């Protein structure tokens, strides 16, 4: 479930956020999101159905910051897709 608020911001449960990353071509998204949550890089913005909800913009920012820091050693090939997803 990805929901959009009145300001156009998109939110979802961790699984849904990972599915969105996968949809834009980022592999192993489920593992990455779990790792970011565990390490405190991604924090919840609220709860829905008793489960934490995360802002998609935060998910994409963490992904871009990780790439920029060279953590995975390859450049982001689909930055236009991610930038479009943030808007």
What are the extents of the domains in the chain? 2-86
What is the model's pTM?
Answer: 0.75
User: What does the pLDDT look like over 48-66, one tens digit per residue?
Assistant: 999 999 999 999 999 988 8
- CATH number assigned to the domain covering 2-86: 1.10.1660
Per the DSSP assignment, residues forming a β-bridge with 10 are 4
Q: Which three-class secondary structure state does DSSP give residue 72?
A: coil
- Give residue 75's pLDDT: 44
**pLDDT band of 3, cuts 50, 70, 90:** confident
Query: Regarding beta strands 10-12 and 51-55, do their DSSP bridges make them parallel or antiparallel, or are they unpaired?
Result: antiparallel
The pLDDT of 67-71, averaged and rounded, is 73
Does the pLDDT at position 76 exceed 60?
no
Residues 1-18 as b/e (b if ≥16 CB within 10 A, e otherwise) read eeeeeeeeebbbbbebbb
Alpha-carbon torsion (83, 66, 45, 52), positive or negative:
positive
């Amino acid at each position: 479930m990805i929901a959009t608020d009145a300001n156009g911001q998109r939110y979802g449960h961790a699984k849904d956020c990972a599915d969105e990353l996968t949809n834009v071509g980022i592999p192993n998204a489920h593992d990455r999101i779990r790792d970011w949550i565990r390490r405190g890089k991604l924090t919840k913005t609220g709860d829905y159905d008793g489960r934490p909800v995360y802002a998609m913009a935060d998910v994409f920012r963490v992904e871009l910051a990780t790439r920029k820091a060279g953590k995975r050693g390859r450049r982001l090939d689909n930055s236009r897709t991610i930038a479009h997803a943030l808007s």
